[in-house]
Chain A
């Protein structure tokens, strides 16, 4: 479904990602983990064509998108959805209009049907009845759920999640994890989730990829990652760096 071949990215002379080779299979949930600034969000953004790679190829289904003109890229994007780290809801629109945005832009559906779809997607994320609220009236967790409803309104084949549980309390974070799993099962979407929350990663992942200083250093099932002998993976998974820090204090 998604294939990255030798993908590298450089920002102002700084190598952010180096020679990434990765394939995401249809219907699976791949979780990308890594510390802050490791390049995982950049990788996610490259998968949907928001950032072009400096070198390498990115394949979405049967199309190589890294040097594709924006107009053609838009056709690919119609089969993808993305949940942003800070939700990225249009703050001048109601929740209903946010969820309906893609439908109104690209599908010539009657308004009644659009409203029906919006209500259904909001019900799916436990926010029925919020159509006329403004994003500023919602909590962080609710905004994330609206962002998810907006991402799946178009029934995409691929959904990308950028730090879906960051900044949320543990209960809300668990709820978002359940929603990711539920969406994946209900719609059989391929999901790529970027996170540094290991509990969330182990809970939702079919496979986990770890990025460390711009390199892909581990790829496998949750079990593989848990049992990894690579000290960099173990340190991240077990949070040993923090423990070490606390001991030395």
Chain B
């Protein structure tokens, strides 16, 4: 019984390490391909597709997250006479954690899934082979522009997320908790420093890379057939979200010690 359990555990560990190794190989190949200047047109197309089109859902998520966090905390703060700190607390929570992580999760669901679905469909319809036959490296052509686009666009989305999330907090604190705009803004000014925002942006650059690399890896290694596209897409989203949560914990430890 114990042996079987250990065997199973061992198999999980080996599979996990194999997957990690394969993803790292793709990272290596992508870095190697970065020596050629990528076509800017491809990068801009991806930036528009992966970044701009994701803004509405990020805005919606962050608006209501900012609102609900204020809703949950405002009365407690007022009870303890700390209403003058609400703006700062909301801004710090949003910029350090909520905006980077939630934008990462939303982007993993929308952008990561789109990347995997597109590339895996290309794989099952032999389009990746067609690229190779025409002497075009699929990593240079497909992965590099997506990686650059995600690493640029995710921080930009997080900046919007920071502003919109804090705005959501302001709406609730002003119109629901009765705190004046002046107190809210003064509190942000007093408690928030540039590092709070910068740390969130650094995280989001990494999350962008995670989403692009995992999305592309799952797409390029999708099992055959329509079912394979579905499986690869699910793995991409789940994998990206797991890595984002784990990486966020360690990055917060390092960035905000």
Contacts and interface: CB of A to CB of B under 8 A. Distances in A.
A84 B137 contact: no
B129 A102 contact: no
B246 interface: no
A169 interface: no
Interface in A59-96: 70, 74-75, 77-78, 80-82, 84-86, 88-92
Contact of B135 (A50, A75, A86, A150): A75
A48 interface: yes
Contacts, number: 50
B134 A105 contact: yes
B134 A77 contact: yes
Contacts of B126: 84-86, 88
Nearest to A104: B39
Contacts of A74: 135-137
A16 B154 CA distance: 46
Interface in B117-151: 118, 122, 125-127, 129-130, 132-137
A101 interface: yes
Contacts of A77: 132-135
A247 B129 CA distance: 42
A52 to B, nearest CB: 13
Contacts of B132: 49-50, 77
A236 B133 CA distance: 31
Contacts of B130: 82, 84, 88-90
A106 B129 contact: no
A48 B127 contact: no
B134 A50 contact: no
B36 to A, nearest CB: 11
Nearest to A103: B134
A75 B132 CA distance: 11
A91 B134 contact: no
Given A88-B125, A88-B126, A91-B127, A105 B133 contact: no
A48 B133 contact: yes
B134 A101 contact: yes
A81 B133 contact: yes
A88 B127 contact: yes
Contacts of A49: 132
A50 B125 contact: no
A150 B20 CA distance: 37
Interface in B12-35: none
A72 B135 CA distance: 10
Interface in A14-31: none
A89 B118 CA distance: 14
Interface string B52-77: 00000000000000000000000000
Contacts of B129: 45, 50, 84, 88
A106 B135 contact: yes
Contacts of B133: 48, 50, 77, 80-82
A78 B132 CA distance: 10
Nearest to B132: A50
- Which has the most chain B C-beta neighbours within 10 Å: A75, A77, A81? A77
Interface string A112-149: 00000000000000000000000000000000000000
B117 to A, nearest CB: 12
A150 B131 CA distance: 12
Contacts of A89: 127, 130
Contacts of A85: 126
A86 B133 CA distance: 15
Contacts of B125: 86, 88, 91
A154 B134 CA distance: 9
A102 B134 contact: yes
A92 B137 CA distance: 18
B236 to A, nearest CB: 19
A90 B136 contact: no
A90 B127 CA distance: 6
Interface of A: 45, 48-50, 70, 74-75, 77-78, 80-82, 84-86, 88-92, 101-102, 105-106, 150, 154
25 contacts: A50-B129, A70-B137, A74-B136, A74-B137, A75-B135, A77-B132, A77-B134, A78-B135, A80-B133, A81-B133, A82-B133, A84-B129, A84-B130, A86-B126, A88-B126, A88-B130, A89-B130, A90-B130, A92-B118, A101-B136, A105-B135, A105-B136, A106-B135, A150-B134, A154-B134
Given A82-B133, A101-B134, 7 more contacts: A45-B129, A74-B137, A77-B134, A81-B133, A88-B130, A102-B134, A154-B134
